[in-house]
Structure 1
Amino acid sequence: MSPPVSSPRNSPAQRRKDIETARQQMLELREELVSIPDSVRQLLDAAHPNFRESARNLVHYLHMRQQDLRPLQMRLSALGLSSLGRAESHVLATIDAVLEALHELAGQEWSPGEHLPTVYDFAHGQHLLEQHANDLLGPAEPGRHVRIMVTMPSEAADDPRLIHDLLAQGMDCMRINCAHDDAITWARMIKHLRRAERAVGSTCKVVMDLGGPKLRTGPLEPGPAVLRLRARRDPLGLPSQPARIWLHAEDAAPAAPPEEADGCVPVPASWLGSLRAGDRIRLTDARGKRRSMEVVQTGKTGCWAESQRTLYVAPGTLLRRIPVTGRDLPDGPPHDAAVGALPATPSALLLRAGDLLRVTRDQQPGQPATLDAEGKVVAPASIGCTLPEVFDDVRSGEPIWFDDGKIGGVVEQMEDDHVLVRITRAGLDGEKLRADKGINLPESDLHIPALTAQDLIDLEFIAANADVVELSFANNADDVEQLEAELRRLGRPDLAIVLKIETRRGFENLPQMLLSAMQGPCCGIMIARGDLAVESGFERLAELQEEILWICEAAHVPVIWATQVLESLAKEGLPSRAEVTDAAMGHRAECVMLNKGPHVLEAVRVLDDILCRMRSHQTKKRTLLRELRLAHGLYDIAPSEGKQGKHGKKSGKHKKH
């Protein structure tokens, strides 16, 4: 067979030209990287000794990514050289390695001159990242290099066994959210952890999350005091599970756990004491429907009753006891009692696309829209907000989101005491907006500090008890510097800092915030994907979290992959397929955070298994070519052992590992 004819595109002359073009482009790129302006050099000089090399590598990476490198990458790939696609942790060393190869191909000598790379090879960059991850998060469990962080529920303060079991299952970091509970509760959680560490023989970092300036909806006018007691039916409409009702004395708190009862009904203590199993209770409910329930069990603090049909009770609803000795046979006179006080039902504003909403600066309870006799809106619905000062920075035409992005709108008009919002996105049947739901203003230039007055109080406890502090809603370098100044004031300049990236401004200012955080001895980044998705748009989240991972790898700063990881598993006991894939993607970070839930222990077990399996397949952007067991299948179905293959060798089954 005659050899292929060289085309102009792959001729020796064209190859020499491609080598020379790539060499010149790489030399120019290197010269740009090492020519650091004085303003940036001052930031590098301010870096803590732990991060001096890393800060310089970050600056090199950011400068390299200011231009479109794709044409150069294609040319380098065609020459069989590194295309710079995995240069994050060792930028200048990668460029020098490529330049050395290009000079050798061109028959020339290469000398890097006086600007030698501080991160001199891949292993060095990886070592720096691992060292910083160990400093921040502690050593990872054997078999996986990604740590597991678990957010504590309030019950953990009174349940030391839960913390013990989480630690034994593989929890590496215990996270306490200061937006919930108080210092006494947090102290009990930490005490349980330290005791569990001694029992298990393992260590665990205490990570405390400052609440931050969370912008949320204000209160609403309470709804009616009515209790819905719901009976379940099967797909055919037949009763499948009765409503379980806990009757208790109206002057005592209900003793039944909420998960055991569909509702707790207060009644007079004397009437409650007269009830016996088998008694029937008849009533006309709040809708005027005749209903009945049967007493099935009595006790010292209350009794259980069941109803085969759904009923609604309100304060004052009359309950008539019909004592029975047999089936519906009365053995005494009826005995009436009235239902005691019930809490008001949480109310909500039903909003549809096209509706107007007044977001007020005060904390007066919000109200639904006022309608005239024909059903036309006379006054739009209204609701307050927790940080009215943000509206000083809001402008007409800017988007606004409520309740984790479920409801979207546009600021239509600014007034002294309120902002008028036109709802642009809601469900087909509308969405309900309740009190204490998040508000996001992704395109507004908000001037609110990341540290609130409450954060400063909580910081005193954190400085005395925690290993790591998380700064919520970090938006710029000033926020980081303010936290560092407070830690110095409290005598804890060594306390590790994690910046939570959950706003567009935080993402856009990430490089400057990193360089500020790297002035301390230990820092990290959390990708808080819940608010970040709302702020940036859900369709952009995947792109943003990739960029955060790249930039932090260049800075050798560990990343925590957070928000809704295996959430269905933790809360309901069964994960979705998408959640399993998402958890596996978290392997590219240094830590994955789980939120609280009744099945969180199982979530830790599953996550540990996923991360251990992924360790041999992926590290950061690098795919690892572990033995692929499926590749043996071709040999397993080859001709039986003893027969001669095409090349005269015996072909048998490939040994499996």
Structure 2
Amino acid sequence: MNVSVKSLLERPSRTKIVATLGPASDSEEMLEKLIFAGVDVFRINAAHGTQERFAVMVKRIRSVSKRIGLPVGILMDLAGPKIRLGELENGELTLESGSEMAFVSPKFLEKSAGCPHLVGIPCVTCTYEPLVNELRAGDRIVLADGTVELTVSQVSAKKNQWAKCRVLDGGTVRSRQGVNLPGVKLSIPAMLEIDRSNAAWAAKNGVDFLGLSFVRHAFEITDLKNLIAENGGTTQVVAKIEKPEALENLAEIVKETDAVMVARGDLGVETDIARVAVLQKEIIQICRAYRRPVIVATQMLESMTHTNLPTRAEVSDVANAILDGTDACMLSGESAVGEFPVETVQMMHRIALGTEDTLESDFLQFIPETSPIDQTLEIMARNVCDLAEELNAKFIVTATANGESARCLSANRGPARIIALTPSRDTLQKMCLDWGVIPMELPKSKKTTKDIMAFALELLKNENLAVPGDRLILFTDASLGTAQNAIVVYDVK
């Protein structure tokens, strides 16, 4: 991949953009336009599609990226144990506040008409068959993204039968809409068989990131990592924070995962919606402490699904996520099925630029004792950022095999641009998620600190990005094997 530094710097936003693919955006022509508009990572929603379809999309993304010379990452989002309503008669059901309805086991559905406890009550099924056995009187159930709320009033004494509910807030629900159970601890696993199959496929086919939905415990991430390793992959795990149990175990989850997504849709249903903004800040803060890239997702520019301008509130939302310290902002329906996918990416890019202009250096002073990254590297990265600001260095050039030095530099949010050189295509694509990092391929022949600095200088000088009088800082990490952890200050002559 012949990547031009200048072409990468022409996308000056340091906040990364994740765009979900769908009918509006998955053609080669649209992929190219979206990359040039500023997309760094493409998201494939595994809830929609087959592995044959995923293969076409991955191949297409890699082909376009290689042809235009701009690296991008690929995130596949596993559907996870999302509970949905079954098929409803006529496709929908209107529930009046104060009325009753019942969840029934699929096997009991035909018998429900003759059950004396359910006379005159609409009965529905859901995709999680044991649900009626795990509900208790007083449990809260939320349907259709929070628009309808129920409370469980009675559960059958016999297993696999029914759970009767009273409607607190009414509305119309449709077949296959989501069922959330805030505060209810279910025995459903983090990955269903289809998720495990899709995860194995992703590992074998070089997908960069796997989103794990409805994470509750760190061991669920470990399980997915083991599955990836068993299938010969290096795919990194993105833990989606959307359950109260995840918040209870947040530090352990963040330490174990490779990256995090603040999945505000289900998070706002599973927890108090009024606290979502505060929870977002807390999650980002912990991610930064553990040097984990974090993505903020859901409804960021949703009005642009059908209009070519966002609301002022949406602009403020994107800006505040950046001010909170997010590495990336994500588009969902806006880019998947929206009428203005390219314009939406361009708008997010503009908002990011305008917000980043106001950011001050935010060097991390706290390194957790349990930080998964080597503390020597942590301290050196912080010192490099401090030195770059003191010396007014134009660029920090880091050379790394595994991306850790780039991630440490990114977490410190210094003013100098970070060019991350790596001989690994795998690492190149994964660094597309790190704030402020410009990933570039390092020829495998460049092994010593001297060779790497000469290569970086040649790149920058050839495109007039480094001129006499400029100052550069080179930071190499020992992951390269042939170079040491080293800091070199260089004045361009």
Give your verdict on TM over 0.5. yes
The Cα of 1:586 is off from its aligned counterpart by 2.3
The Cα of 1:155 is off from its aligned counterpart by 5.6
CA distance change for structure 1 residues 193 and 367 in 2, over 3 Å: closer, same or farther? farther
Match of 1:205 in 2: 73
For 2:237 and 2:308, the matched residues in 1 are separated by 33
| Equivalent residues of 2:81, 2:190 under 8 A apart | yes
Pick aligned residue for 1:593 from 330, 333, 336: 330
Identity of aligned residues (%): 31
Match of 1:617 in 2: 358
The Cα of 1:143 is off from its aligned counterpart by 2.1
Match of 1:441 in 2: 181
Matched, 1:553 2:322: no
| Equivalent residues of 1:363, 1:386 under 8 A apart | no
* CA-based RMSD: 2.6
CA distance change for structure 1 residues 496 and 355 in 2, over 3 Å: closer, same or farther? same
For 2:112 and 2:172, the matched residues in 1 are separated by 11
Q: How does 1:160-559 map to 2 (within 5 A)?
A: 160-221=28-89, 223=90, 347-362=91-106, 378-415=119-156, 416=159, 417-426=161-170, 431-465=171-205, 466-492=207-233, 494-517=234-257, 523-559=258-294
The Cα of 1:363 is off from its aligned counterpart by 7.0
The Cα of 1:396 is off from its aligned counterpart by 1.2
For 2:48 and 2:272, the matched residues in 1 are separated by 28
The Cα of 1:445 is off from its aligned counterpart by 1.3
The Cα of 1:620 is off from its aligned counterpart by 9.2
For 1:612 and 1:363, the matched residues in 2 are separated by 56
The Cα of 1:366 is off from its aligned counterpart by 10
| Equivalent residues of 2:24, 2:339 under 8 A apart | no
Matched, 1:576 2:311: yes
The Cα of 1:573 is off from its aligned counterpart by 3.0
SS in 1 for 2:17: strand
For 2:291 and 2:311, the matched residues in 1 are separated by 32
Of structures 1 and 2, the larger Rg is shown by 1
The Cα of 1:200 is off from its aligned counterpart by 2.3
For 1:172 and 1:140, the matched residues in 2 are separated by 13
TM-score (norm 2): 0.66
For 1:140 and 1:421, the matched residues in 2 are separated by 57
CA distance change for structure 1 residues 620 and 392 in 2, over 3 Å: closer, same or farther? farther
Match of 2:21 in 1: 152
| Equivalent residues of 2:204, 2:232 under 8 A apart | no
CA displacement 1:60-102 (0-9 Å, x = unmatched): xxxxxxxxxxxxxxxxxxxxxxxxxxxxxxxxxxxxxxxxxxx
For 2:101 and 2:70, the matched residues in 1 are separated by 53
The Cα of 1:543 is off from its aligned counterpart by 1.4
CA distance change for structure 1 residues 140 and 444 in 2, over 3 Å: closer, same or farther? farther
The Cα of 1:367 is off from its aligned counterpart by 13
The Cα of 1:549 is off from its aligned counterpart by 1.1
Q: Which amino acid is the alignment partner of residue 64 of structure 2?
A: A
Structure 2 residues without counterparts, runs of 5 or longer: 1-7, 364-412, 416-493
| Equivalent residues of 2:211, 2:239 under 8 A apart | yes
| Equivalent residues of 2:143, 2:149 under 8 A apart | yes
Q: Compare 350-359 and 507-516 and name the one that shifted more.
A: 507-516
For 2:21 and 2:247, the matched residues in 1 are separated by 27
| Equivalent residues of 1:410, 1:422 under 8 A apart | yes
TM-score (norm 1): 0.50
Q: Which amino acid is the alignment partner of residue 190 of structure 2?
A: A
The Cα of 1:156 is off from its aligned counterpart by 4.6
CA distance change for structure 1 residues 566 and 156 in 2, over 3 Å: closer, same or farther? closer
The Cα of 1:369 is off from its aligned counterpart by 11
| Equivalent residues of 1:450, 1:473 under 8 A apart | yes
For 1:483 and 1:200, the matched residues in 2 are separated by 33
SS in 2 for 1:572: coil
| Equivalent residues of 2:77, 2:212 under 8 A apart | yes
For 1:369 and 1:407, the matched residues in 2 are separated by 24
Q: Which amino acid is the alignment partner of residue 610 of structure 1?
A: I
CA distance change for structure 1 residues 369 and 507 in 2, over 3 Å: closer, same or farther? farther
Q: Which amino acid is the alignment partner of residue 211 of structure 2?
A: E
Q: How does 1:111-150 map to 2 (within 5 A)?
A: 142-150=11-19
The Cα of 1:368 is off from its aligned counterpart by 13
For 2:289 and 2:94, the matched residues in 1 are separated by 47
CA displacement 1:539-564 (0-9 Å, x = unmatched): 11111111101111111111101011
CA distance change for structure 1 residues 350 and 162 in 2, over 3 Å: closer, same or farther? same
From the two aligned structures, give the one with the greater helix fraction. 2
For 2:240 and 2:289, the matched residues in 1 are separated by 18
CA distance change for structure 1 residues 167 and 433 in 2, over 3 Å: closer, same or farther? same
| Equivalent residues of 1:364, 1:384 under 8 A apart | no
The Cα of 1:513 is off from its aligned counterpart by 1.4
